[in-house]
Amino acid sequence: HGAAELDETGTEALPRRTPAPAWLPTAKGEEGDFCLRSSDCAAGLCCARHFWSKICKPVLREGQVCTRHRRKGSHGLEIFQRCQCAEGLACRLQREHGPADASRLHTCQRH
């Protein structure tokens, strides 16, 4: 049974704290890297939920399917989140050629 190391004051020496968790890279995360917030990811990526963790995913471009949330806060319920549309784009109901409201699909479109 090894005794805990004591410092000069007679108390247990505590390990030094690191500013970030060891698993979090110091460089900006690339696509697929774990993250806590979008600022952890490189340009053009956001931090979004993927199963029960969060990873860097690409910001959506024009024509890509996006998620439009009817209620505030419902974004947190998804296990596969998508990023927001890129700057200058909005998530809007896709305009279909056919019966009105045939598709409830939303895509990133220019303002």
- Whether the Cβ atoms of residue 10 and residue 16 lie closer than 8 Å to each other: no
Which numeric CATH code is attached to 27-57? Answer: 2.10.80.10
pLDDT band at 41 (very low <50, low <70, confident <90, very high): very high
- Whether the Cβ atoms of residue 52 and residue 93 lie closer than 8 Å to each other: no
- Whether the Cβ atoms of residue 86 and residue 60 lie closer than 8 Å to each other: yes
**Separation between Cα atoms, residue 78 and residue 51, nearest integer Å:** 9
- pLDDT tens string 63-107: 999 988 766 655 556 789 999 999 999 999 987 655 555 568 999
Supply the pLDDT for residue 66: 95
pTM equals 0.65
Higher pLDDT, 48 or 3: 48
**What tokens were used for 52?**
């029960």
- Segments making up each domain of the chain, as ranges: 27-57, 60-69+87-110
* Alpha-carbon radius of gyration of the chain: 22
> Is the Cα dihedral 55, 61, 65, 71 positive or negative?
positive
